[in-house]
Amino acid sequence: MSATETGRATADIVRVHTPYRKGLPNLRVYLKDLWDRRHFAVELSRTQIRSQHLNTVFGQLWLILNPLLLALVYFMLVLILGRGRGQHDYLPHIMAGLFLYYYFNACLRGGAGSVVGGGRLILNTAFPKALLPLSSVLVAAYRFMPTLLVFLALRLVKGDGLSWTMLWGVPVFVFLTIFGAGMAMLFATLNLYFRDVSNFLPYMLRLWLYLSPVLYFPEQLLNRLPPALDHVVVLANPLFAPLATWSRVMVQDVQPQPLYLLISACWAIAALVVGSYIFLSREREFAVRL
Amino acid sequence: MLSVSKALAVRVEDVHLTYRTTVERRRTLRHTLFTRQRSVFEVEALKGVSFDVPHGSVLGIVGANGAGKSTLVRTIAGILPPTSGRIEVHGRVSTLLSLGVGFNRNLTGRENVVLGGLAAGMSRDEVDARYQEIADFAELEDFMDVPMRTYSSGMYSRLAFAVAVHMDPDVLIIDEALSTGDARFRHKSSERMKKLCAEDRTIFLVSHALGSVKEMCTEAIWLHKGRMVMQGAPDDVVTSYTKFLKVGEDAITMEDL
């Protein structure tokens, strides 16, 4: 047992600070503290969004412009490389996949920088530090919403309309958010102990994009591989199943494969458990490491 | 130890704190890759400090640079875990530490006040209710809606002080932050601190300004190299401390930095 214990005695709060030991803090107290400060996470992410585009001419319009330019760049790249020519649904597939992938990307990159960048707050206030990576996830989610609108607009313009199947996108989004939150906590901790992580992260994320079915359809990869490798690709890449399902339900209006949903859920829970264990068991030491 | 009749605010029991950092003597790639051993650099910032503080007292903490003053108040605030020992704090702690109150310089004063309050555990309504008071106390007016990077250091510390005293703290920790305000604001802040004490709250004042320690504190402790040298009435502690510094109570040390 370590950490700070809270008890209520004669209407005043008593806190006892004892030496740091590796191990989880009192989870009930921690979660209560976290919940009591939920408005802090919301407010922090809101101010972050507001300050991001403060000095630009287009201002908040960048929330729409960014994804459009991103989709344009990758669409051009893929056209030039000549893959997917003649594939129906190619542009919507790239857009849907890129937007969701960049949502995860933002969770991870924001999370990795959140603790290292929160130096002053951490040195001056005692609060549950999991709020920092979690509010990066919130920032990423806020930024994802307009991109989703762009995608829906594209569908309407193309004359595809909306369908009930697209509701399957909700669980996919939830699983990816949980996975992203776990990874954000994991990388926030890693980045504090090995600052090299932030140098290495952009390359890892770029590679991860190419290994995931974003710039190509999942079948295109699976058909080229020997069948024995199929499972490896689907199971070992945590983004493969959610991104494949996302394209299936959002672009092709096809029911999701239950196996892929199950894999997405498993990765989400695994990342959350591992990420939050590593983060919570070390967070009391963060102030010394900054 | 002190007056027994009053309720206990903070109890510090044999607290040690050691900072550890690994340092590479030669920061080259070859050295990093091919040398196994890295020297560990240890600083014992606190070596067994114990004291009790009852509610309603103003405790001055004096000591030379590197005595462990800031480390001590950070452990009391629960920011740094002690290496050994135990600290018991009764009530809500509000901190005004030397690095500023976790302020992000790119955000406006208003945003920082809201974020600071929420991080300290206040609810949205509580923050909104106190916002105007804080803004009035800091006397920043229109500057509240301007990014804090444009503030002068005096404005910065005025806002920090205003936030800390309006958090409704039971225990307020102030680390050399009063030195930057002008004379009028310093007067106003000491009035405010007296008011907090009258309400039976507790204040920790870390300061090199021995004049304010003598004037405002009801108790003082003197730290030297992580050990507590003396605890007692502020006048006695300040006298011994200045004697130790071999400078005597001349104008230079009495002046608030």
Contact A15 B111 (CB under 8 A): no
Selecting from A12, A126, A285 the residue whose C-beta is nearest the C-beta of B78 gives: A126
Judged against a pLDDT cut of 50, whether residue A227 lies above it is answered with yes
Judged against a pLDDT cut of 90, whether residue A26 lies above it is answered with no
Confirm or reject contact between B43 and chain A (CB < 8 A): no
The count of other CB atoms within 10 Å of the CB of residue B119 is 24
- The whole-number pLDDT of residue A133 equals 95
Contact B81 A40 (CB under 8 A): no
Q: Could you tell me the two tokens for A52?
A: 């991001």
Q: What SS3 string covers chain B?
A: CCCCCCCEEEEEEEEEEEEEEEECCCCCHHHHHHCCCCEEEEEEEEEEEEEEEECCCEEEEECCCCCCHHHHHHHHCCCCCCCEEEEEEECCEEEECCCCCCCCCCCEHHHHHHHHHHHCCCCHHHHHHHHHHHHHHHCCHHHHHCEHHHCCHHHHHHHHHHHHHCCCCCEEEEECCHHHCCHHHHHHHHHHHHHHHHCCCEEEEECCCHHHHHHHCCEEEEEECCEEEEEECHHHHHHHHHHHCCCCCCHHHHCCC
Q: Looking at CA atoms only, how far is residue A14 from chain B in angstroms?
A: 4
Confirm or reject contact between A211 and chain B (CB < 8 A): no
Q: Model confidence at A260, in pLDDT bands (50, 70, 90)?
A: very high
Q: Which of residues 120-139 of A touch B (CB under 8 A)?
A: 120-127, 131
Handedness of CA A207, A208, A210, A211 (dihedral sign): positive
Exposure letters B58-69 (e unless 16+ CB within 10 A, then b):
bbbbbbeeebbb
d(CA A241, CA A122): 37
Say which residues have a Cβ less than 8 Å from residue A264's Cβ, sequence separation at least 6.
A171, A172, A175, A176, A179, A238, A241, A242, A245
| pTM for this prediction | 0.82
In DSSP terms, which residues pair with B222 in a beta bridge? B62, B230
Q: Give the rounded percent of residues in chain A with a pLDDT score beyond 90.
A: 41
pLDDT tens, position by position, A34-82: 888 888 899 888 888 887 776 677 777 888 888 889 888 988 888 777 6
What angle do the packed helices A90-117 and A240-250 form, to 10 degrees?
140
Q: Could you tell me the two tokens for A82?
A: 């000549």
Asked whether this complex has an ipTM greater than 0.85, the answer is: no
By the 8 A CB rule, do B52 and B199 touch?
no
- Across the range A235-254, mean pLDDT stands at 93
Contact B99 A12 (CB under 8 A): no
- Residue of chain A nearest B86, judged by CA positions: A18
Look at strands B58-62 and B219-224 and give their pairing.
parallel
d(CA B19, CA B173): 22
- Strands across the sheet with B8-23, in order? A5-9, A12-17, B84-90, B8-23, B39-54
- The whole-number pLDDT of residue A89 equals 78
d(CA A73, CA A82): 14
d(CA A107, CA A175): 13
pLDDT tens, position by position, B194-250: 788 778 888 888 888 888 888 888 899 999 888 888 899 999 998 888 888 876 445
Contact B121 A124 (CB under 8 A): no
Cα–chain center distance at A222 = 25
- The whole-number pLDDT of residue A200 equals 92
Selecting from A37, A284, A288 the residue whose C-beta is nearest the C-beta of B119 gives: A37
Judged against a pLDDT cut of 70, whether residue B37 lies above it is answered with no
- The whole-number pLDDT of residue A262 equals 95
Confirm or reject contact between B87 and chain A (CB < 8 A): yes
pLDDT tens, position by position, B95-121: 776 545 556 777 888 888 888 788 777
Contact A125 B120 (CB under 8 A): yes
Q: What is the enclosing helix (H) or strand (E) of A12?
A: strand A12-17
SS3 A8: strand
Q: How far apart are the first and last CA of chain B?
A: 31
pLDDT tens, position by position, A136-189: 999 999 999 999 998 999 889 888 888 899 999 999 999 999 999 999 999 999
By the 8 A CB rule, do A199 and A189 touch?
no
Closest CA to A16 of B72, B120, B168, B76: B76
pLDDT tens, position by position, B40-99: 777 888 888 899 998 888 899 998 888 888 889 888 888 888 888 889 888 878 777 654
Question: How many CB pairs below 8 A link A and B?
Answer: 107
Contact A127 B19 (CB under 8 A): no
Where are the alpha helices (H) located in chain A, listed in sequence order? 27-36, 38-52, 62-81, 90-117, 119-124, 131-158, 169-193, 197-211, 218-224, 227-236, 240-250, 258-282, 286-289
Contact A51 B114 (CB under 8 A): no
Confirm or reject contact between A270 and chain B (CB < 8 A): no
Q: Which of residues 82-121 of A touch B (CB under 8 A)?
A: 120-121
Selecting from B88, B97, B106 the residue whose C-beta is nearest the C-beta of A124 gives: B97
pLDDT tens, position by position, A85-126: 556 678 889 889 999 999 999 999 999 999 888 777 787 778
Q: Could you tell me the two tokens for A248?
A: 């299936």
Instruction: List C-alpha distances in Å: B195 to A272, B130, B167, B174, B184.
Output: 47, 17, 14, 15, 17
Q: Model confidence at B256, in pLDDT bands (50, 70, 90)?
A: very low
In DSSP terms, which residues pair with B78 in a beta bridge? none
Contact A13 B90 (CB under 8 A): yes
